[in-house]
């Protein structure tokens, strides 16, 4: 089955700087890559996703890039703010998010230093 590796496990950045989280996946059939933000005591919140027919997607301060050849995708957060502090998860879906569900990475704890 699919395997998703996520790095780093912890990332500390100064407020206003950029943060980058990287993920690799194993199954070349994966074609959907969402990113979730999880705050303490809450469920994961979908923040952005990308499909295999595009290489980059942006939404205000958040962007995701996908390299299908290398089988890796990344989350970029610019102009970080205190409210960006949370655990971020990448995920990959093989067949359609259904039969196999989403396969998640182990998460990155993002800490924004004031």
Partner 1 sequence: DAGVTQSPTHLIKTRGQQVTLRCSPISGHKSVSWYQQVLGQGPQFIFQYYEKEERGRGNFPDRFSARQFPNYSSELNVNALLLGDSALYLCASSFGFGNAYEQYFGPGTRLTVT
Distance CA 114, CA 81 (A): 8
43 is a contact residue toward partner 1 (CB under 8 A): yes
91 is a contact residue toward partner 1 (CB under 8 A): yes
- Which member of 42, 53, 60, 114 binds partner 1 (CB under 8 A)? 42
Strands (E), the chain: 4-7, 10-14, 19-25, 32-38, 45-51, 56-59, 62-67, 72-77, 86-93, 102-104, 108-113
Contact, 102 vs 46, CB < 8 A?
Answer: no
**CB 6 to partner 1: min, Å:** 8
46 is a contact residue toward partner 1 (CB under 8 A): yes
- Which member of 40, 53, 70, 98 binds partner 1 (CB under 8 A)? 98
**CB 23 to partner 1: min, Å:** 11
Beta carbon nearer to partner 1, 6 or 74:
6
């Amino acid at each position: 089955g699919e395997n998703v590796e996520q790095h780093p496990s912890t990332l500390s950045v100064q407020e206003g700087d950029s943060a980058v989280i990287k993920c690799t996946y194993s199954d070349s059939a994966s074609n959907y890559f969402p990113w979730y933000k999880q705050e303490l005591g809450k469920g994961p919140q979908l923040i952005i996703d990308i499909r295999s027919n595009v290489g980059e997607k942006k939404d205000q301060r958040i962007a995701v890039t996908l390299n299908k050849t290398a089988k890796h995708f990344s989350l970029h957060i610019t102009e970080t703010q205190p409210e960006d502090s949370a655990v971020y998860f990448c995920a990959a879906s093989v067949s359609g998010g259904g039969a196999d569900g989403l396969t998640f990475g182990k998460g990155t704890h993002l800490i924004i230093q004031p």
